[in-house]
Amino acid sequence: MSAVPASGGAAANPSPTRPRRFGPRTLFARVFWMMVLGIAIAQALAYVAIRQERSMALRSLMMSGIERDIATGVAVLDRLPPAERTAWLDRLERPNFRFALADEVDPQAGPVDHTEFSGAFVDALTQALRPFRIERVAQVGARRYQLLVRLGDGAAVTVHARRVDMPIPEWVTWVLVAQLVVLTFCTWMAVRLVTRPLNALATAADDLGPDLTPRLIAEDGPAEVAHAARAFNAMQQRIAGYTAERVEILAAISHDLQTPITRMRLRADLMADETLRDKFRQDLDAMHALVREGVTYARTLHGTSEPTARLDTDALLASIVGDYEDAGEAVTLDGAAGAPIMAPPQALKRVLVNLIDNALAFGGAAEIWVRRDDAQGLAPRLTIAVLDRGPGIPEDQLSAVFKPFHRLETSRNRETGGTGLGLAIAHQLATAMGGSLSLHNRPGGGLEARLSLSSPTPATLSTASVDKSVGSAGRDGASR
């Protein structure tokens, strides 16, 4: 979403296009569907194998027994008196062959298709019917065969043979389907067992915000998972301990420096040279401010908790702009939030005041532009942009200026170079509030500092400790 007024603000930087990916993106979905598809293919192959085995069994049965049964039936008919043969036809009939006392060979029937099965079957019948004379062999379709045989007295007997399928029982199909369902459920459980600890670790890592307060996760489950959870909890505690130790060291240094700085101020007041005394005081002020801002930045990383509150953003912005106007600064406000948000008041004010101070220091004037986006299906977001017409920032330095003590103006002059901590503190506070702070160069010169905030439910957002007084909330000085 662009945070630039239609009258001529900064165009949003084009986001890099990502290659379009097909298929599931989560590890859970990928592993689950890979295993399910593998099991389904295995089940399908098993089903095909069963059907193939049935077909081979049928072929073996017909090849091993039917020719002997047909030969026996023809021999029985040959030994019977002609008058009794008709009565025996039903007795000799089987599911896969029958006899007819006439020439019933279909004149439209074609020759035998000498495939692997048909040719072997007809050859086996021919051998089994010896010494009877076979006058004609025909094939009707893919499964039926007709043989015209002459008995010893010259009577014609037509043998109708056919291939009888051995269908797979219906219960076999349902058993395979039930197996697939059971295996799918077991796969889902197994993949969930593997990926759930990863999700817990990722959630704990996301919850480890700028305050670095440990969010311990349960150290249960399989041995490997419990070991990873213990290692992660120990890592969080070590990081929190290191950060707390750093803050304590900075606080101790700041406290210990107060005494010599105070003594130096008193001694500076006794100096006879007024010019030298003023310069000495400026150096002491810069030293004191640098120590104070260093401690403030350290606290934004470790921090304490400031409770969120239902905040009237429009009233806050109007109050800030009014304070600057009373001080004779060129600060304008355009747009309105239109609805309250949940945010830590002092932290939000500190970020805004810091951005406005930067705009005034480098551009001479600051424009504040506010926009609320209530896109359907997305959480409402509030964007506050602070714009100036200063020199801007080189594109390769837009992210680097958020690093502590990073200054584009490398001189030691605090009036022009700053301390390099203002934007770092603002960035940490914005992240702690669940928002984002980004910088964008404006067409025609100047910079846009864009603060984007969501509208969370009432909760306590862990943020950096902020100054309690209104006057000190956010005046961290120029930093770029």
* Cα–Cα distance, 311 to 313 (Å, whole number): 6
pLDDT per residue as tens digits for the range 219-255: 877 787 788 888 888 888 888 787 777 777 777 777 7
Residue 185's alpha-carbon distances to 34, 188, 201, 353, in angstroms, are 14, 5, 25, 56
> Can you give the length of the chain in residues?
480
Indicate the average pLDDT of the chain.
Answer: 76
Specify burial of residue 450 (Cβ count, 10 A radius: 0-12, 13-18, 19+): buried
The confidence score (pLDDT) of residue 445 equals: 86
* Cα–Cα distance, 287 to 53 (Å, whole number): 90
pLDDT per residue as tens digits for the range 246-256: 777 777 777 77
CB 388 within 8 A of CB 362: yes
3-state secondary structure of 412: coil
Domain 306-480, CATH 3.40.190.10 — does that match? no
Number of Cβ within a 10 Å radius of residue 77 = 22
The confidence score (pLDDT) of residue 368 equals: 92
Topology adopted by domain 208-302: Helix Hairpins (1.10.287)
Residue 76's alpha-carbon distances to 41, 84, 86, 127, 440, in angstroms, are 51, 11, 12, 17, 103
- How many degrees, rounded to 5, is the angle at CA 204 between CA 454 and CA 423? 50
pLDDT per residue as tens digits for the range 324-369: 999 899 999 998 888 888 888 888 888 899 899 989 988 889 999 9
What residue ranges do the domains of the chain occupy? 25-206, 208-302, 306-480
Token digits for 449? 């500092």
- Please name the residues in contact with 137: beta carbons below 8 A apart, sequence gap of 6 or more: 111, 112, 122, 126, 145, 146, 147, 148
* Cα–Cα distance, 273 to 141 (Å, whole number): 123
Nearest partner of 379 among 457, 460, 432, judged by Cα: 457
Token digits for 215? 């969010």
Question: Which regions in the chain score pLDDT beneath 50?
Answer: 1-17, 303-304, 410-414, 416, 456-479
* Cα–Cα distance, 149 to 197 (Å, whole number): 77
Walk across the sheet containing 144-150 and list its strands.
97-100, 156-162, 144-150, 133-140
The confidence score (pLDDT) of residue 458 equals: 39
Asked, as a colleague might, if the bond just before 131 is cis with ω within 30 of 0, I would say yes
* Cα–Cα distance, 146 to 246 (Å, whole number): 99
* Cα–Cα distance, 219 to 230 (Å, whole number): 6
- Please name the residues in contact with 367: beta carbons below 8 A apart, sequence gap of 6 or more: 331, 332, 334, 359, 386, 387, 388
The pTM for the full model equals: 0.48
The confidence score (pLDDT) of residue 480 equals: 54
Give the containing element (helix H, strand E) for 284: helix 274-302
pLDDT per residue as tens digits for the range 431-454: 878 788 889 998 888 899 999 887
